[in-house]
């Protein structure tokens, strides 16, 4: 646990009592603060009370009279589409609003660090797609290299729930736009921006607000090094804003779409090969084509970002390359779950938007594509250029017929449910095919989350293969 500093003896309100909310209450208490907790869900309040925490309705008159700060869980809207009423009440009372990420950065460094030979560091990763894989890959590389490392944030443990870092330890944080948007302190040593595509637009008031939330990770604290994906205009803009000139190697530009040139520090992937260039000269090259845990150009971009972040810590290209080959990938993200009869079965249930699904479709050949679900704003137009390898689509979801109508030029079967889609795709698959779940839609019309959807696909495939 990371005890929260700066609130000893003060009352601090905690809104939202899920995993991060309870971890925040514990960390506040460990730092000497007095947590005052609230959640609209009675079961969540009962769980907090069972741990001995005080709960109080923060909408009651005078609830903020003696509160030093309000700490908000990431799923609670603070501005768009409308501020939560408790947050609005805190504003009216002049009470500062923060989240657990802000508390982490203000509490991470302690006096004990004076005894460390190498101060601990934080690598923070944000972006639209690939941030989970990039974060997990960085953590894997560090662990394989013998570095003490912890993975937290939007993946793994809550940020305040991790152990105090060891001498030379590294904390790898995956940070969503919900987390970066509100944090009052953001001071990583290395910050990574993977890419940007439309997502969560209602929460951020549009694309500009969404990018602004990501940009705060780089603008608020000023990381020592910034690893920036420059395959979109927003990344190119961000890299330019952070750089003092073409040769400024505090900014490492990353691409899976183009060769990067110039006197600075670049890492890019082309035709399956990762290349590192510094001061206009090639410093390293890695063949990514045989790395099973990182298939496709989108994962090659993740590999480039993770490589660059680890190089800033002094790891050698050979050590990083060896770790690439032992990386198994993440569940629900281009995860190979079985291979049988010359057919590969891939679970990419995390491909919940058009951009991430398009990248998954470009990673494989001869695809029998299971897709559909709760369609996101903007339609499926961004997918059409990525359908060249699709032999047939098997569409699930309550709006399967409408989804299928948009897949022009592709044979599409309306299956509605996962059982039918898996059964038909497997029956029709031939040697050399890939049966790919990459929905391009949210899961909430039929599942609680994308993990449950991916687990359903995986279970049905493995059952049909006799547990293979």
Q: DSSP per residue over 23-87, as a string?
A: HHHHHHHHTT-EEEEE-SSHHHHHHHHHTT-EE--TTSTTTTTTEEEEEE-TTS-SSSS---HHH
- What is the distance between the alpha carbons of residues 251 and 258, in angstroms, rounded to a whole number? 17
Task: Give the start-end residues of each E strand in 210-359.
Answer: 225-229, 251-255, 265-270, 273-278, 281-287, 335-340, 343-347
Question: Binding site, residues?
Answer: 127-133
367-371 sheet: strands from edge to edge: 335-340, 343-347, 434-437, 367-371, 390-396, 412-416
Note the pTM of the prediction, 2 decimals.
0.87
- Chain-centre distance for alpha carbon 146: 24
Whole-number pLDDT of residue 198: 78
All structural domains of the chain: 11-98 (3.40.50.720), 104-326 (3.40.1190.10), 335-464 (3.90.190.20)
Long-range contacts of 232-235 (CB under 8 A, 24+ apart): 232/195, 232/196, 232/197, 234/196, 235/193, 235/195, 235/196
The answer to whether 165 and 148 are in contact (CB under 8 A) is: yes
Tokens of 335: 């995860």
> C-alpha distances in angstroms, 15 versus 21, 70, 154, 364, 435?
7, 7, 18, 44, 43
CA distance 21 to 53: 12
What is the bridge-based pairing of β-strands 281-287 and 273-278?
antiparallel
pLDDT value, residue 14: 98
Give the Å distances, CA to CA, from 257 to 298, 301, 353, 399: 9, 9, 20, 34
Count CA atoms closer than 13 A to 433's CA, side-chain side: 19
* Annotated binding residues for ATP: 127-133
Spell out, as residue ranges, where the chain has pLDDT lower than 50: none
């Amino acid at each position: 646990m990371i005890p929260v500093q700066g609130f000893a003896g003060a009352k601090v309100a905690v809104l939202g009592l899920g995993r991060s909310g309870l971890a925040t209450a514990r960390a506040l208490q460990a730092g000497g603060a007095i947590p005052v907790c609230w959640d609209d869900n009675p079961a969540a309040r009962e769980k907090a009370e069972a741990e001995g925490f005080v709960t109080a309705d923060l909408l009651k008159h005078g609830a903020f009279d003696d509160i030093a700060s309000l700490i908000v869980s990431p799923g609670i809207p603070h501005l768009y589409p409308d501020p939560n009423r408790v947050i609005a009440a805190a504003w009216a009372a002049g009470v500062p609003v923060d989240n657990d990420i802000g508390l982490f950065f203000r509490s991470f460094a302690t006096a004990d660090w004076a005894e460390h030979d190498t101060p601990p560091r934080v690598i923070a990763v944000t972006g639209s797609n690939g941030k989970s894989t990039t974060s997990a890959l960085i953590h894997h590389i560090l662990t394989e290299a013998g570095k003490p490392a912890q993975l937290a944030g939007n993946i793994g443990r809550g940020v305040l729930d991790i152990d105090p870092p060891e001498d030379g330890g590294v904390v790898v944080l995956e940070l969503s736009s919900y987390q970066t948007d509100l944090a009052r302190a953001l001071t990583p040593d290395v910050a990574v921006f993977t890419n940007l595509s439309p997502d969560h637009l209602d929460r951020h008031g549009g694309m500009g607000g969404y990018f602004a939330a990501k940009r705060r990770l780089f603008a608020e604290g000023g990381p020592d090094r910034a690893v920036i994906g420059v395959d979109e205009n927003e990344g190119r803009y961000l890299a330019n804003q952070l750089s003092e000139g073409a040769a400024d190697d505090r900014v490492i530009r990353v691409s899976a779409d183009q060769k990067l040139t110039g006197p600075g520090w670049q890492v890019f992937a082309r035709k399956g090969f990762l290349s590192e260039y510094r001061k206009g000269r090639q410093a390293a090259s890695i063949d990514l084509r045989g790395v099973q845990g990182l298939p496709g150009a989108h994962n090659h971009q993740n590999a480039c970002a993770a490589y660059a972040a680890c190089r800033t810590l002094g790891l050698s290209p050979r050590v990083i390359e060896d770790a690439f080959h032992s990386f198994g990938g993440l569940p629900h993200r281009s995860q190979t779950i079985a291979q049988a009869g010359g057919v590969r079965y891939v679970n990419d249930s995390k491909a919940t938007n058009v951009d991430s699904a398009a990248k998954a479709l470009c990673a494989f050949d001869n695809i029998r594509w299971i897709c559909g679900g709760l369609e996101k704003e903007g339609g499926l137009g961004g997918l059409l250029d990525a359908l060249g390898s699709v032999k047939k689509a098997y569409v699930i979801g309550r709006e399967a017929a409408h989804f299928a109508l948009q897949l022009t030029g592709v044979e599409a079967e309306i299956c509605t449910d996962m059982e039918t889609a898996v059964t038909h795709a497997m029956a029709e698959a031939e040697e050399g095919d890939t049966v790919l779940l990459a929905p391009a839609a949210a899961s909430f019309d039929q599942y609680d989350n994308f993990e449950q959807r991916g687990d359903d696909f995986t279970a049905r495939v493995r059952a049909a293969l006799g547990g293979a």
